[in-house]
Structure 1
Amino acid sequence: MSQTPQKIAVIGIGDDGLDAVSPSVRQRILEAELVLGSDRALKLLPEGRQAEQQVLSGDLDELASQLESVGGRRAVVLIFGDPMFYGLARYVTEKIGKDRFEVAPHVSSMQLAFARVMESWDEAYLTNLANHPLDKVVERIRTAQKAGLFTSPEQPPNAVAQALLDKGIDYFHAYVCENLGARDERVTRGSLEEIAAQSFAPLNVMILVRQADAPDRPRDAIGRRLFGNPDEAFLQSKPKQGLATSAEVRALALAQMDIAPGSIVWDIGAGSGSVSVEAAQLARDGAAYAVEMDPEDHGLIKQNADRFGVTNLMAILGKAPEALADLPDPDAVFVAGGGREVARICSAAYERLRPGGRLVVNLIAINNLAELYEQMGAASHDCRVMMVNIAEGADQLGRLSFESLKPSFLLSVIKP
């Protein structure tokens, strides 16, 4: 009959070592046949002990194998702070099984840090930059009252402070608590500007406390809408200002294009790229190709893509339909059809359109519309036209009136 292996004790300690643990925990450590921990933890053990010592692997898979090989020996794993609070125990108990371990926590360095700065932490936003992207953490901090961060060598306190300042988040007092519990412990308080100009020991916790009554600094509204962003959110070349597809027409066109997350989208005659930028946001796992023959507008497409943070938008400098030859077949196509070539461009795009795909054309001239409707109607039984007439409310001497925008037409066709 096989004997049930003894549980591995995962024990939290501080820089004061065994002096600060309870008598029962101290006895468990001293009676262990195998002690595992970092070099720093193993150096805190009393001299002259006969138990085997192993340095824990930094690779989590190797570490799991290391613990599984303990066998029936009385084993102890030494971890600084609370092993269950962003600590090793969370990983190994899930990987190997909770029945193989018992945990004896120590005061977490996060608890110590909040105690040192005399702040409560029950409602603070807490995270570890070793496994959470800094840009995501910054957005969470934006609306927090307090935040506690385990920093990392790649994202030290000065980098965190600078990232906050770069986003206009300047309304926090900052504390950096270094080497907590050790003889060289140090707590630095300062503004984010002051913290950004300093360097700190690698073992630190960063605490941020919002200044009294400081309101949130909202992030730029650009890109918060998937589509229908205001026209002024897009950079446009000055002589052509106002010629971009308006927000209202753009929203209707994108709805007609029926873009899925994995769609391939063409925007032909893209101008400054307002349609292709929003198409790229909708096709987050696909791609949008903005075809534009004007070099200045081609440059603006790239700037607007950066402005909205879309990385799946490719700006193509060239004239349609020739510039379409090397592009992947699309699921959806948008054409800004102001020129005499619109019928030829739409014919070439429709030919490449995948079955079930949609072609949407925005036109202003009614004679172009009639020609294109006849052409597309012959190609597909599912061809629709909308006239878009929009009036905006305006105040005229204290009275509400409406000013009509220039009408335009949307032709949409589904390829069988």
Structure 2
Amino acid sequence: MTKIAIIGIGDDGLQAVSPAVGERIEQAQVLLGSERALDLLPDSVAGKRVQIGSDLAELADQVRNIGDQSAVVLVLGDPMFYGLARYITDEFGKDRFEVIPHVSSMQLAFARVMESWDEAYLTNLANHSLGSVIEKVRIAERVGLFTTDTVGPDQVAQALLDKQIDYFDAYVCENLGARNERVTRGSLADIAGQSFEPLNVMILVRQRQLPDRPREAVGRRLFGNPDEVFFQSRPKYGLLTSAEVRSMALAQMDIWRDSIVWDVGAGTGSVSVEAAQLATDGAVYAIEMDPEDHQLIKANAQRFNVENVIPIQGKAPEAWEALPDPDCVFVAGGGREVCRIAEAAYPRLRDGGRMVINLASIDNLTELRQALRAHTDNVQVWMLNISRGTDQLDRLTFDALKPSFLVATTK
């Protein structure tokens, strides 16, 4: 079977490809590509033209319909750099294709601004949320961004300024390789006030000898932050899950980067916030029925600059009926209510997911353990007795925290 060529081209069409590549395109019986890519071919290219769009399932059908005909898939720029080649080769196997790259618009952009892209942070905002990208931009030296119709350079610049990240020079490279190509340079404040063509690449270059503006000192740890850095209500001050217990609970939850997490009875949101710092591409649903604590969850999420905490005001289990099934669940509290909530949450837990329950009293520990063992033999229990060292009259003493119990299970 003749291999299908995935060929990268630029706005200058066949003029910039090698004779061998040009001949491959001219002799192909089927030519697949976006409307813009196909329009770059002269009328003398006689192959059947098949326009492809963003529907990957439809694209797969179009590739299957090629059969034994000689075919070329035309992609603007480098097909392997945020192009279609990865999807097609994953779908049909690498043996059926060959990839012939062209200069990508990202390469062109860095060349236009005469900056090296060695070790630059490169990404596409079509595939990643702006919030997660900004945190990576914060510590980068150079950045290359494919923006989108909905998140343009002006919005990126303003989002950076909102996070006090103002130490980059910015370039916006529009319509690269075309006759109406334009490169705009300015501060982030300059870029935030302008509009640009949808076909653009944004380059950020850190200004020399300027330090970054780190986030407020709180939240520098991914988990186990001191209790006092969280906003707490005065009547309930000190009732949040302590840093030591919180650290062990989060470790036992096995949170991945893209995990869906439920924090049931979230209180002030200390577990929710730190879970969100671990699940950077996921979401943490902080379920709390107390209106004052519901507001504190929002305040703590803002203080720690995490945007993936979603406060849900309501009583479990009714409050989670419309939520996506979780990979990880944390439940905290006392009394038989905790047993009821844990039993209700277990069926919603995804296969392989982890649930961790923090009990403040031993009274319901046996009941909870037996309830979970009805579903699985994999139930672990810890009793945590923790004392914090303190200086008193030039002597080291220890203040004991209330004993706490953790129960963990895997579905």
Structure 1 position 241, deviation (Å): 8.4
Q: SS at 1:10's partner residue? A: strand
Is contact 2:272–2:285 with CA below 8 Å preserved after alignment?
no
From 244, 253, 257, give the equivalent of 2:238. 244
Distance 1:282 1:350, change over 3 A: farther
Q: TM-score, normalised by structure 2?
A: 0.73
For 1:11 and 1:277, the matched residues in 2 are separated by 46
From 74, 99, 123, give the equivalent of 1:127. 123
Q: SS at 2:186's partner residue? A: strand
The answer to whether the aligner puts 1:401 opposite 2:397 as a matched pair is: no
Structure 1 position 401, deviation (Å): 3.4
Distance 1:202 1:287, change over 3 A: closer
- Mapping for residues 238-277 of structure 1, pairs under 5 Å: 240=234, 243-245=237-239, 249-252=242-245, 255=248, 260=253, 270=267, 272=268, 274=270
**Which string of whole-angstrom CA distances, capped at 9 and with x for unpartnered residues, describes residues 215-274 of structure 1?**
23223454454654224422244xx38932488x55248758996469977659x5x555
Is contact 1:333–1:360 with CA below 8 Å preserved after alignment?
yes
Is contact 1:162–1:196 with CA below 8 Å preserved after alignment?
yes
Q: SS at 1:160's partner residue? A: helix
For 1:132 and 1:312, the matched residues in 2 are separated by 18
From 384, 389, 392, give the equivalent of 2:390. 392
Is contact 2:312–2:319 with CA below 8 Å preserved after alignment?
no
Structure 1 position 46, deviation (Å): 1.8
Task: Quote the residue 2:403 is aligned against.
Answer: 410
Matched residue type, 2:394: S
Task: Quote the residue 2:8 is aligned against.
Answer: 12
- Mapping for residues 97-246 of structure 1, pairs under 5 Å: 97-225=93-221, 227-237=223-233, 240=234, 243-245=237-239
Is contact 1:178–1:205 with CA below 8 Å preserved after alignment?
yes
For 2:318 and 2:25, the matched residues in 1 are separated by 68
Distance 1:282 1:7, change over 3 A: closer
Comparing 148-157 and 255-264, the one that deviates more = 255-264
Q: Highest Rg: 1 or 2?
A: 1
The answer to whether the aligner puts 1:56 opposite 2:55 as a matched pair is: no
Q: TM-score, normalised by structure 1?
A: 0.72
**Which string of whole-angstrom CA distances, capped at 9 and with x for unpartnered residues, describes residues 374-405 of structure 1?**
x789999999795x6645359xxxxx936979
For 2:44 and 2:261, the matched residues in 1 are separated by 67
For 2:332 and 2:224, the matched residues in 1 are separated by 18
The answer to whether the aligner puts 1:67 opposite 2:66 as a matched pair is: no
Distance 1:327 1:406, change over 3 A: farther
**Which string of whole-angstrom CA distances, capped at 9 and with x for unpartnered residues, describes residues 326-366 of structure 1?**
789x985435xxxxxxxxxx4766787769986643xxxxx
What RMSD in Å do the two structures reach over aligned CA positions?
4.3
Distance 1:305 1:169, change over 3 A: closer
Task: Quote the residue 1:397 is aligned against.
Answer: none
For 1:206 and 1:383, the matched residues in 2 are separated by 51
For 1:45 and 1:379, the matched residues in 2 are separated by 73
For 1:241 and 1:405, the matched residues in 2 are separated by 25
For 1:37 and 1:225, the matched residues in 2 are separated by 47
Matched residue type, 2:36: R
Structure 1 position 66, deviation (Å): 0.7
**Which string of whole-angstrom CA distances, capped at 9 and with x for unpartnered residues, describes residues 137-171 of structure 1?**
21111111111111111221112112222222111
Gaps of 5+ in 2: 255-259, 321-328, 347-354, 370-380
- Between the aligned residues of both structures, percent identity stands at 50
Task: Quote the residue 1:334 is aligned against.
Answer: 333
For 2:124 and 2:407, the matched residues in 1 are separated by 49
